[in-house]
Chains A and B, each alone.
Chain A
Amino acid sequence: MSDLRLMKGNEALAEAAIRAGCRGYFGYPITPQSEILEYLALEGRSRGMIVLQAESEVASINMVYGGAGVGARVMTSSSSPGISLMQEGISYIAGAELPCLIVNVSRGGPGLGTIQPSQGDYFQAVKGGGHGDYRLLVLAPSSVQEMADFVFDAFDLADKYRSPVMILADGALGQMMERVSFREYDPAAHLVAKPWATTGKPVTRERNIITSLHIEPEKMEQINNRLQEKYRQMALHETRCEEFQTADAEYLIVAYGLAARIAQGAVEMARAQGIRAGLLRPVTLFPYPTDAIRALADRVRGVLVVEMNAGQMIEDVRLALEGRVPVRFYGRTGGIIPSPDEVLGALTKMVNEDVLHIEEVS
C-alpha cells in the first residue's frame, strides 16, 4: 500500500485527525502525548486546522466546548493529570450534547504519578469522571494502526450521537512506532448537518443556545432521560469487542488496549503448553461488551482479567458474569508493562487452582 508509513502512535493519531476533517485542536503539553500537539502545530496548521496551545487543560476543554458548539469537528488530547483537570468541561460538553474527540494517552498515577504507560484511568473514562449522570463513548486502541483508525470512528460516532467520544490509549501506544496506513476518508461525505450550532442567527430561524443549564427539574430530568436513551442506543449499536481463540477456550483472558496485545501472546504460549486459553478484548469500554462476555460464561472454567492497573475493568467483567465463573486478576501498576510470561504465569496459576479444586471436589 502506497500510504503505508512508520509512525509513532501519537503522530498517527494526529495525522488521522487532519484527515478526518478536524478543524480545531486545543491542547496543552503533557508527556507522553505532546507529539500530538507538536505534529498538529506544523502539519495541522499548514493544512488549515486551527491549532491552539492553551494556557491549561481547563482552557483547552472549554475551547473544545466553544468549537464544538459552532458545529466544527474539534478535539483535545492530554494525559491522565490533564484529563483530570478537564473533567468539569467534559461534564458540560456531555450535558450540552456537543460532539468532540477527547484523547487520553494515559500514564500512571495517582497524582503526578509517572510518565510511564498505565490503564489507571479506566474508572475515570468509563464511569463518568466528572459530575452528573453522563457517559463518554470510549474507544480503546491496541496498536498504532488503531490509534489512527479510531480517530475517524470517534468523529463519526460523536456526530452520530451528538456526544463526546474518548480514545483511551496509554503512553506505550502513544510512543511506540509501528506501520500504519490511513483509510480512504472524505470528511465531506461524513459530515452531518448541525442545525443546533451557534453560527450566527439568520432571520429564518430561532436563536440557538448551547447550554447544560436547566433549572426546571422536569426539563432537567427530560435531558437526563434523553442522555440515558442515547447511551442505550450506543450499547445496542456501537458495542465492539474482539475474540481470539475463544471458540474452544476453557480459560478466558479479558484485557483491553496494550494489555490485550500482551495477553494475546500469553494465550499463544498457553496453547503451546496445551492450555485451551482464549482472549476477549473489549474495543469499546463504554458501551461495554457485557453480552459477549456473558455468552462465554457457560463455556469457560475461569476468567483472568489483565490490566495495567490495580483492577478496574475487572468490576465490569464480574458484573457481566454475575458470579457464574471464578474471576482472577493480574495487573501491574506504576507504569510497569506486564510481560506475556507474567500473564502466562497468572493464567497457569488459575488453571492449577481450578484443577486442584476439581480434585478436591471429586
Chain B
Amino acid sequence: MEHQTMQPDSPVLECVYSRPGTLTETRFHYCPGCGHGVVHRVLMEAVEELGIQGETIGVAPVGCSVFAYNYLDIDMQEAAHGRASAVATAVKRLLPDRYVFSYQGDGDLAAIGTAETIHTVNRGENILMLFINNAIYGMTGGQMAPTTLIGMKTTTSPLGRTVEASGFPLKITEMVATLPGAYYVSRNSVHTPGAVRHLKKAILKSFQYQKEKRGTCFIEVVSNCPSGWKMTPLEANRWMAEHMFPLYPPGEIKVPK
C-alpha cells in the first residue's frame, strides 16, 4: 500500500451533497437498502426548498416509520395505527394556513386505516398523504399486507399469498384516484436517481396544490423491504421493479386538468 501525501495546490472540495437542515442529526434506524430514508430526505428537501419548515406539521404512522419524528425537524404528531389521516384532518382544519402531511405504510393506510384513508380523500382534505407500499408489515416482522402480491411469501402467508385465503392485493391508490376529493394522485419509487427526482417533483407540486387549497394530494411510493423480503438491497430493488411494478406501475394516476 502506497501512501500519497496531498499536494499543497489541491483544489478545495466543494460540498455538493449534504443533509438538509430540515432533518435532525439523528441517524436513521432503517435497515440497509430501505426506502424510508430516501423518502424522508426527499420530503424534507422539498420542505427546505419551499422554506416552509416552520409551517409544516407532519403526522407519523405506526409501522417502520413510527419514529419519523425523530428525523424530521418539524412539529409532528404520532397517530394510532391507521389513523394518521384523521389526525391530519383535524390539524389542517384547525390550522388551515399550515402545510400538513400524513406518512403511512401499506398496513397502516390500506388495511386498518382504509376507512380513514377513503374518507379523508373523499372530503378533499387539503393535505398531502404519503403512502409507502412495500407489500409487507416490516416492523412486526414480515407479515402479509393488503398489498402483498399473489404468491408472495410472508410469515403469515408462508406458502405464498393465495386469493382463496386472502383475496387480492389492494390497489388503494387507484381507488382513491376515483374520488372527487383527490386532486393529485401519483405513484413513485425511490430505486433510481430518476425516480427520486420524480418523487421530489411530486412532493413539491403537492405542497403547491395544498397552498392553493385544491384538495387531497396522494403520493404512493412503491418501496422495498430487504429484511422482510429476505433479499439484499440490490435484489430487493430488482425484485420490486420486476414483480411490483406490473401491479403497481409508477406514474401519474390523476393530474389536475
Binding site for B on A (CB under 8 A): 23-24, 26, 50, 52, 54-56, 58-59, 62-67, 69-70, 72, 74, 88-89, 92, 96, 198-203, 207-213
Contacts and interface: CB of A to CB of B under 8 A. Distances in A.
B87 to A, nearest CB: 4
Interface string B129-140: 000000000000
Nearest to B112: A58
Contacts of A64: 90
A54 B57 CA distance: 21
B106 interface: no
A66 B88 contact: yes
B56 A211 contact: no
Contacts of B157: none
B115 A69 contact: no
Contact of A62 (B54, B57, B75, B80): B80
Contacts of B118: 55
B78 A210 contact: yes
Contacts of B91: 66-67, 69-70, 198
A72 B76 contact: no
A242 B75 CA distance: 44
Given A210-B76, A210-B77, A59 B57 contact: no
A213 B60 CA distance: 11
B48 interface: no
Contact of B76 (A67, A202, A203, A209): A209
**Interface range on chain B: under 10, 10 to 19, 20 to 34, or 35 or more?**
20 to 34
Interface in B103-138: 115-116, 118-119
Contacts of B86: 54, 58-59, 62-63, 66
Q: Which 6 A-B pairs have the closest CB atoms?
A: A66-B90, A66-B87, A211-B78, A198-B75, A62-B83, A67-B90
Contacts of B54: 200-203
B78 A52 contact: no
Given A62-B79, A207-B76, A210-B76, A70 B119 contact: no
A26 B55 CA distance: 24
Nearest to A64: B90
B116 A55 contact: yes
B93 A198 contact: no
A63 B80 CA distance: 11
Interface stretch (B66-74, B170-178, B180-188, B234-242): B66-74
Question: Max chain B CB contacts within 10 Å: which of A54, A63, A64, A67?
Answer: A63
Nearest to B52: A200
Contacts of B90: 24, 26, 50, 52, 62-67, 70, 74
